[in-house]
Amino acid sequence: MALSKEKVAEVVKDNQRNEKDTGSTEVQVALLTKKIESLTEHLKINKKDFSARRGLLKLVGMRRKLMRYLDKKDHMSFKALSKKLNLKN
């Protein structure tokens, strides 16, 4: 269920602020979103995998906290990122 190096590099490249940026809030939220999508697909097949469900809930909580932080610090960036990743505001 872990993301491959190629997928991580692609997500980082699409969301980074500059060419050396790998840990900005936008990149972290995008990576969490990809992991959440992967876990959601896994749970559609394996409905009784409760440890994966717990991990999914933790990831959603982490993403929510980062989005709240981004909204406070840079609202325009928050709006752009939520639109790009198809997240509810």
pLDDT digits (tens, 9 = 90+) for 49-70: 999 999 999 999 999 999 999 9
Burial degree of 5 (CB within 10 A; 0-12, 13-18, 19+): exposed
Torsions phi, psi for 87 (to 5 deg): -100, 150
Q: What is the pLDDT of residue 1?
A: 65
Per-block average pLDDT, block size 10, for the chain (89 residues)?
Answer: 89 93 95 96 96 97 97 96 90
Q: How many residues does the chain have?
A: 89
CATH of 25-84, one of 1.10.10.370, 1.10.287.10, 1.10.8.10, 1.10.10.60: 1.10.287.10
pLDDT at 10: 95
How high is the pLDDT of residue 72? 97
**Extents of the domains making up the chain:** 25-84
What is residue 21's predicted lDDT score, i.e. its pLDDT?
A: 92
Give dist(CA 66, CA 78) in Å, integer: 10
